[in-house]
Structures are given as structure tokens and as C-alpha cells.
């Protein structure tokens, strides 16, 4: 370590992963994530339990990040944290920790917008997208089309007006009797099914916006009617049901993505967030990229789901601009890009 080296400890605690990462001169050294399994039996994230689990996990996660990086606390140039958007109680744990750490060590504090960090996850490893590019951020909490002009200049050009697409995956999965989070299970069963077996709605919103609440209701009524005729309808048709639901969700995502790329005349395409793990989405996007000459960027799964490495990457860019935060900062459950 040189005195000119920029070394940052970054913390993520916006939802149900407690994570810490160390970045030196823009290179991520590690990404320690403690996943909270306590939520599984409740069928979704319970905010109060998430806050408590963050409290338990934060110090061990930070200690592991420091230990495995070989960096000492006194060598850090700054500490970064997720300010929002996210669950208030969950954010408070990371914000309070980072503030206390910065105060004790007398080093700068850097706030990071979680959604900006999802996009900047593309800069952790090669190949990196060229500016300007369009990023489709798809997770359990968000669905956004982002026009990225430079590392810290981003504009939301489309977003969901109700549920996030990950939420639509998880809620329809729940209707099929699948445990939380149901997205990966829909993906798995869909592989053996016919995506055209059942006709679920493809909602078209104005401009580049999305709506995913309609499909949940459509699936609910469809299943209610079918189960009256045949109580085994779900188990007899699970693969076709999953494939058809997934088909509608992917179609909705891609219709707007295609429209955005056309409108802005851009061929650099990135996807981020937990739903970008979906194999149907990856396959269809890869085919579209080949047909249309797009350059497609999909980060490693570890950097798609919530993680502190992406917070560290965003913090590095902010450090270069001396974009620091006051010790009076508070979290923002809703935070605009
Ligand atoms: O980004 P993420 O880990 O957490 C946030 O919501 O911020 O995303 C989690 C979401 C969940 O809704 C989960 O069901 C969905 O990503 N997901 C998937 C797949 N893997 C994760 N959805 C569909 N197919 C998958 N393979
Ligand atoms: Zn996220």
C-alpha cells in the first residue's frame, strides 16, 4: 500500500443481504455477503427481522472483508454506505456503522445510491460497457431503464408504475404454491414447459414505463377457474404455467428495452439486478443482441444480486470527484437516481 492508493471499505444493508467489500484503486478485492435465510418461512422479507439480522452480521462481515483483503483499518482512505433506496431499519444499520467508522478514524464518508451501484456493477470486471449505454435494472424491488452517460451521470428513462418484475415472479410463484423467492423456481420449471401453452397478458404502458401488477391478478383468476374443474391443475401443468408466466414477463421487459435502444440509437446494452439471473431472459437477450448487433453486458451473478462490491465501485468513482458526505447524513427509504 502506497500513501497515494485509494482504499475504500463499502457497506450494503438496504434489504436482506449484509455485505462488505474492499476496493483499492478501482479494483475490488473481495465481496463478503451474509444472506438472511430467516425470511424464507414468511414468504418475503420481514423488515424488522432484516434490521435485527443486519445488526448481528455487520461487524463479522466487515471483519472478514478487512481480514481477507490484508488491509488494516488505519490504511483506509474512506468508508462508503448505501443511503437508499431500501428498507429504513435495514439502511439505518449500515449508515450508523459507516458514520461511526468515519468519525472514529477521521476519514471521509461516501454515500451511495443503491440503484446507481447496480448499474456500476458493470465496472467491477471486464468487459465494461462504453458510454452511453442503456441498463435494464431488474430486481425484487426495482424495474428501471437507465440511460448511463458517464459513471455518475444517469437518467431513469422508464420504470415500473407498480410492482417490480422480481416481485411479479415471486408473487405468481406463490400462487403456484412455490416457496419464496419463487423467481429462480419459475426459471427452473419453465425450462421444461411450453411458453405459449397459456396466454397471460402483456401489459403495455405509455412511454418506456412498465406495469407488472396485472399478470398477478390474471394468474390468480385463471388458476381459480381451472382449479374448479381440476384440483390437480397446477401440479399437472407446472412447467407450462411457469414457462407461460415467464414468457409474458420477459416480453414486457424486452418490448420497452428495444424501444429505448431504438429511440436513443444505442447498441450498448447492460442488465443488472437479481432477475438478470433468469436463464430465459439471458437467452432471449443474447439472441436479440446477435440479430441486432448490440453489445450485451451481463455481470457475474454475485454482482447482480445485492452486494457491497457494487457500492465500493460507485464509491471509488465518487472518491475521484471528492464527492463526500457530512456526518449528519440520514438514510432515504426512497431515493431518486
Ligand atoms: O437484486 P436482488 O437479489 O434483490 C433485490 O430485490 O434488490 O433480486 C431478487 C429478485 C427476487 O425477486 C428473485 O425472485 C429474483 O430476483 N430472481 C429471479 C431469478 N433469480 C433471482 N427471477 C427470475 N429468475 C431467476 N433465475
Ligand atoms: Zn438491489
> What is the CATH class of 128-298?
alpha beta
Residue entry with cell 475490488: 28
Q: Which residue's alpha carbon is nearest to atom 10 within ligand 1? A: 140
- Which residues are found with C-beta within 5 Å of the ion, ligand 2? 139, 306
Instruction: Look at residue 152 in the predicted model and tell me its pLDDT.
Output: 97
Q: Alpha-carbon distance 272 to 263, whole Å?
A: 21
Three-state SS across 178-205? Answer: CCCCCHHHHHHHHCCCCCCCCCCCCCCC
Residue 235 CA to ligand 1 center (angstroms) comes to 23
Q: Which residue's alpha carbon is nearest to atom 20 within ligand 1? A: 184
Q: Kindly report, residue by residue over 108-153, the tens digit of the pLDDT.
A: 999 999 999 999 999 999 999 999 999 999 999 899 999 999 999 9
Domain with CATH 3.30.420.40 in the chain: 7-120+304-320, 128-298
Q: Alpha-carbon distance 3 to 170, whole Å?
A: 48
Whether the CB-CB separation of 111 and 325 falls below 8 Å is answered with yes
Whether the CB-CB separation of 197 and 246 falls below 8 Å is answered with no
Q: Kindly report, residue by residue over 68-90, the tens digit of the pLDDT.
A: 999 999 999 999 999 999 999 99
- In this prediction, residues 291-306 reach a mean pLDDT of 95
Residue 304 CA to ligand 2 center (angstroms) comes to 8
Helix (H) or strand (E) holding 159: strand 153-159
Instruction: Look at residue 44 in the predicted model and tell me its pLDDT.
Output: 79
Residue 138 CA to ligand 2 center (angstroms) comes to 8
Instruction: Specify the CATH superfamily of domain 7-120+304-320.
Output: ATPase, nucleotide binding domain (3.30.420.40)
Q: Kindly report, residue by residue over 178-235, the tens digit of the pLDDT.
A: 998 999 999 999 999 999 999 999 999 999 999 999 999 999 999 999 999 999 999 9
From the CB of 89, is ligand 1 less than 6 Å away?
no
Residue 30 CA to ligand 1 center (angstroms) comes to 22
Amino acid at each position: 500500500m502506497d500513501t497515494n492508493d485509494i482504499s475504500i471499505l463499502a457497506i450494503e444493508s438496504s434489504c436482506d443481504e449484509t455485505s462488505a467489500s474492499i476496493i483499492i484503486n478501482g479494483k475490488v478485492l473481495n465481496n463478503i455477503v451474509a444472506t438472511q435465510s430467516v425470511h424464507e418461512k414468511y414468504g418475503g422479507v420481514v423488515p424488522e427481522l432484516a434490521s435485527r439480522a443486519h445488526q448481528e452480521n455487520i461487524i463479522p462481515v466487515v471483519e472478514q472483508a478487512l481480514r481477507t483483503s490484508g488491509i488494516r483499518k488505519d490504511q483506509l482512505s474512506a468508508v462508503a454506505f448505501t443511503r437508499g433506496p431500501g428498507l429504513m431499519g435495514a439502511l439505518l444499520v449500515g449508515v450508523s456503522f459507516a458514520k461511526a467508522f468515519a468519525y472514529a478514524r477521521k476519514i471521509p464518508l461516501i454515500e451511495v445510491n443503491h440503484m446507481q451501484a447496480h448499474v456500476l456493477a458493470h465496472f467491477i470486471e471486464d468487459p465494461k460497457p462504453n458510454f452511453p449505454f442503456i441498463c435494464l435494472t431488474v430486481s425484487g424491488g426495482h424495474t428501471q431503464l437507465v440511460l448511463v452517460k458517464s459513471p455518475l451521470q444517469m437518467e431513469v428513462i422508464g420504470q415500473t408504475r407498480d410492482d417490480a418484475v422480481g416481485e411479479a415472479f415471486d408473487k405468481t410463484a406463490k400462487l403456484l404454491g412455490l416457496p419464496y423467492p419463487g423467481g429462480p423456481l419459475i426459471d427452473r420449471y419453465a425450462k421444461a414447459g411450453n411458453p405459449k401453452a397459456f396466454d397471460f397478458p402483456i401489459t403495455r404502458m405509455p412511454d418506456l414505463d412498465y406495469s407488472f401488477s396485472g399478470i398477478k391478478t390474471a394468474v390468480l383468476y385463471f388458476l381459480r377457474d381451472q382449479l374448479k374443474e381440476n384440483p390437480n391443475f397446477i401440479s399437472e401443468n407446472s412447467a407450462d404455467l411457469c414457462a407461460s408466466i415467464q414468457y409474458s414477463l420477459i416480453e414486457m421487459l424486452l418490448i420497452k428495452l428495444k424501444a429505448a435502444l431504438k429511440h436513443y440509437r444505442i447498441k450498448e446494452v447492460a442488465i443488472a439486478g437479481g432477475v438478470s439471473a433468469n436463464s430465459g431472459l439471458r437467452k432471449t437477450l443474447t439472441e436479440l443482441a446477435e440479430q441486432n448487433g448490440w453489445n450485451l453486458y451481463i455481470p457475474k451473478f454475485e454482482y447482480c444480486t445485492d452486494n457491497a462490491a457494487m457500492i465500493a465501485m460507485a464509491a471509488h468513482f465518487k472518491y475521484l470527484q471528492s464527492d463526500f458526505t457530512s456526518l449528519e447524513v440520514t438514510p432515504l427509504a426512497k431515493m431518486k437516481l
